[in-house]
Amino acid sequence: MPNVSRRPFLRLALGAAVAPLVSRALRADTFPTRPITIIVPFAAGGPTDVLARILAEYMRGSLGHPVVVENITGASGTVAGLRAARAAADGYTITIGHWGTHCLNGAIYQLQYDVREFAPIALIASGPQLIIARPDLPAKNLKELIGWLKSNASKATAGTAGPGSGAHVAGVFFQQLTDTNFSFVPYRGAGPALNDLMAGHIDIMFDQASNSLAQVKSGTVKAYAVTSSSRLPSAPEIPTVDEAGLPGLYIAYWHGLWAPKGTPAEIVATLGAAVRTALAEPAVRQRFLELGQEIPAPDKQSGDALRAHQAAEIEKWWPIVKSANIKPE
């Protein structure tokens, strides 16, 4: 075939190959042009939802478009995880997640996605859990709680945010350390579980401090210990697990923000910059402090920092969780 007759074909072929690159570059240049959705993998009003809504409000300023929260609940965040993994990689659907969704779930569930496959946007904050109980539970401290659980083994209950969630996993470690046995009651998030704890329908929870600090302060739930080596600046009256008699039961619940894999780097960077601007706002910092959240230093908030932190947490926790043989049901 003479060369001349191939030229239009070549032009067409080249055009077809280059077009997606050009339109991706244009998309990244102008991003965003419409609202962005953050998928929250748990019920509204719970700890992850609260952090997402604070961020959403303050990210709007730098992005120039609303950031909308969508709660997709079920199976400890794995229903949302699949939805977020399969979303278009254009930056308009992103997800907030944490130690449970983006670390533990990968060891506990047979997933149709990989918790490591997302494009990390930013490491947001980290906070401990509180060991809490319904307000009329008679135990006055952690040692008495352990005694009470031993004498009420057949009927004591712990609320969780789902099978294999952080609250469940922490409860299993607690059982192993204290030789106690109680049943777990799964909810679609820590928010509804806490409501049932306040109402006395369940006995205890291993709950993110951000979910229950306000209720501890108002006396509608009892707190026995914080799962860290130091007391919370916003609740110095709550002893650490070391002080309360359960040394070393440290759990840090970190949160991050991810986009679907394949999201253009420029778009991920725009989203990351909006998160970092939000996290620098004094009002956000104050609110996070009140929620028992520690915001990482700016150089530790990046997507790379989140990727490294997630990898380190997976390396630490997957063997522990797998050897504890924690089942999703």
Residues that bind ligand MLT (CB under 6 A): 42-43, 46-49, 98, 100, 161, 165-167, 189-191, 208
- Select 122 or 190, whichever has its Cβ closest to ligand MLT: 190
- Select 46 or 292, whichever has its Cβ closest to ligand MLT: 46
Pairing of strands 157-160, 204-208: parallel
Say if residue 32 is preceded by a cis peptide, omega within 30 of 0: yes
Smallest gap from Cβ 263 to ligand MLT, in A, equals 23
With H, G, I as helix, E, B as strand and everything else as coil, classify residue 290: helix
Smallest gap from Cβ 137 to ligand MLT, in A, equals 20
- Select 84 or 268, whichever has its Cβ closest to ligand MLT: 84
- Select 146 or 190, whichever has its Cβ closest to ligand MLT: 190
- Select 263 or 310, whichever has its Cβ closest to ligand MLT: 310
- Select 72 or 89, whichever has its Cβ closest to ligand MLT: 72
List the beta bridge partners of residue 68.
Answer: 37
Is there a contact between 257 and 124 (Cβ–Cβ < 8 Å)? yes
- Select 251 or 268, whichever has its Cβ closest to ligand MLT: 251
- DSSP letter for 76, please: G
Smallest gap from Cβ 121 to ligand MLT, in A, equals 18
Cα distance between residue 122 and residue 136, in whole Å: 40
Smallest gap from Cβ 182 to ligand MLT, in A, equals 18
- Select 120 or 166, whichever has its Cβ closest to ligand MLT: 166
Q: Report the run of H or E that residue 150 belongs to, with start and end.
A: helix 142-151
- DSSP letter for 295, please: P
**Nearest C-alpha neighbor of 149 from the set 121, 175, 173, 167:** 175
Tokens read off for 71: 């709660």
End-to-end CA distance of the chain: 65
Cα distance between residue 11 and residue 186, in whole Å: 59
Smallest gap from Cβ 269 to ligand MLT, in A, equals 26
- Select 47 or 120, whichever has its Cβ closest to ligand MLT: 47
Smallest gap from Cβ 238 to ligand MLT, in A, equals 18
Smallest gap from Cβ 273 to ligand MLT, in A, equals 25
7, burial (CB in 10 Å: exposed 0-12, middle 13-18, buried 19+): exposed
The length of the chain is 329
Q: What amino acid occupies position 9?
A: F
Smallest gap from Cβ 233 to ligand MLT, in A, equals 21
140, burial (CB in 10 Å: exposed 0-12, middle 13-18, buried 19+): exposed
328, burial (CB in 10 Å: exposed 0-12, middle 13-18, buried 19+): middle
Smallest gap from Cβ 97 to ligand MLT, in A, equals 9
Q: What amino acid occupies position 249?
A: L
